[in-house]
Structure 1
Amino acid sequence: MDGAIDVVGRVGGLLRALSAHEPAGASTTVIARDAGLARPTAHRLLSSMRSEGLTDRDDASGNWHLGPEIYLLGLVASGRHDATETARSTVRRLAHETGESAFFSARRGDETVCLLREDGSFPIRSHVLHEGIRFPLGVASAGLAILSFLDRREQSRYLRDADLTTAYGDAHHRDRLTDRIERTRRNGYAVNPGLIVPGSWGIGAAVFDRQGSPRWALSLTGIEARLAPPRQQQLGKLLLSEAHALSQRINEHGRE
Structure 2
Amino acid sequence: MEEQGTQVIARAAALLRAIGSADSGASTTELARQAGIPRPTAHRLLSALAEEGLIDREHTTGQWSLGPELYLLGAGAADRYDITEQSRDIIDRLARESGESAFLSARRGDETVCVYSQEGSFPLRSHVLHVGIRLPLGVASAGLVILSHLPDNDISGYLARTDLVSRWGTEHSEKSVRKRITATRRNGYAVNPGLLVEGSWGMGAAVFDRGGRPAWALSLTGVETRFRAERRLELGKLLLDQAHELSMRLR
SS, match of residue 229 in structure 2: coil
SS, match of residue 196 in structure 2: coil
Pairwise CA distance, 1:223: 1.2
Stretches of structure 1 lacking an aligned partner (at least 5 in a row): 252-256
Partner of 2:4: 3
Q: Larger deviation: 136-145 or 160-169?
A: 160-169
SS, match of residue 205 in structure 2: strand
Pairwise CA distance, 1:238: 0.8
Partner of 1:235: 235
Pairwise CA distance, 1:85: 1.5
Identity %: 58
Partner of 1:254: none
1:64-98 per-position Cα deviation (integer Å, ceiling 9, x unaligned):
11110000000001011111111111111100011
Which amino acid in the other structure matches residue 245 of structure 1?
E
Partner of 2:219: 219
**Equivalent-residue separation in structure 2 for 1:82 and 1:120 (angstroms):** 23
Which amino acid in the other structure matches residue 10 of structure 1?
R
**Equivalent-residue separation in structure 2 for 1:38 and 1:167 (angstroms):** 18
SS, match of residue 62 in structure 2: coil
**Equivalent-residue separation in structure 2 for 1:29 and 1:223 (angstroms):** 32
**Equivalent-residue separation in structure 1 for 2:45 and 2:119 (angstroms):** 37
Pairwise CA distance, 1:3: 1.4
TM normalised by structure 2 equals 0.98
**Equivalent-residue separation in structure 2 for 1:161 and 1:57 (angstroms):** 34
Pairwise CA distance, 1:7: 1.1
Partner of 1:149: 149
Q: Aligned ranges for residues 94-243 of structure 1 at < 5 Å? A: 94-243=94-243
**Equivalent-residue separation in structure 2 for 1:160 and 1:6 (angstroms):** 22
Pairwise CA distance, 1:170: 1.0
Pairwise CA distance, 1:163: 1.1
Q: Larger deviation: 12-21 or 80-89?
A: 80-89
**Equivalent-residue separation in structure 2 for 1:159 and 1:220 (angstroms):** 25
Pairwise CA distance, 1:169: 1.1
1:17-42 per-position Cα deviation (integer Å, ceiling 9, x unaligned):
110114x2111111111111111111
**Root-mean-square deviation (Å):** 0.8
**Equivalent-residue separation in structure 1 for 2:250 and 2:29 (angstroms):** 39
Partner of 1:250: 250
Partner of 2:27: 27
Pairwise CA distance, 1:5: 1.0
SS, match of residue 117 in structure 1: strand
**Equivalent-residue separation in structure 1 for 2:9 and 2:78 (angstroms):** 22
Which amino acid in the other structure matches residue 81 of structure 1?
Y
SS, match of residue 102 in structure 1: strand
Runs of 4+ that moved beyond 4 A: none
SS, match of residue 112 in structure 1: strand
Stretches of structure 2 lacking an aligned partner (at least 5 in a row): none
Partner of 1:89: 89
**Equivalent-residue separation in structure 2 for 1:237 and 1:28 (angstroms):** 44
1:26-67 per-position Cα deviation (integer Å, ceiling 9, x unaligned):
111111111111111111111111111001111111111111
Partner of 1:14: 15
Pairs aligned (count)? 250
TM normalised by structure 1 equals 0.96
**Equivalent-residue separation in structure 1 for 2:250 and 2:70 (angstroms):** 24
**Equivalent-residue separation in structure 1 for 2:127 and 2:3 (angstroms):** 41
**Equivalent-residue separation in structure 2 for 1:210 and 1:156 (angstroms):** 24
Partner of 2:60: 60
**Equivalent-residue separation in structure 1 for 2:38 and 2:45 (angstroms):** 11
1:131-179 per-position Cα deviation (integer Å, ceiling 9, x unaligned):
1111110110000000000111111101222111111111111101101
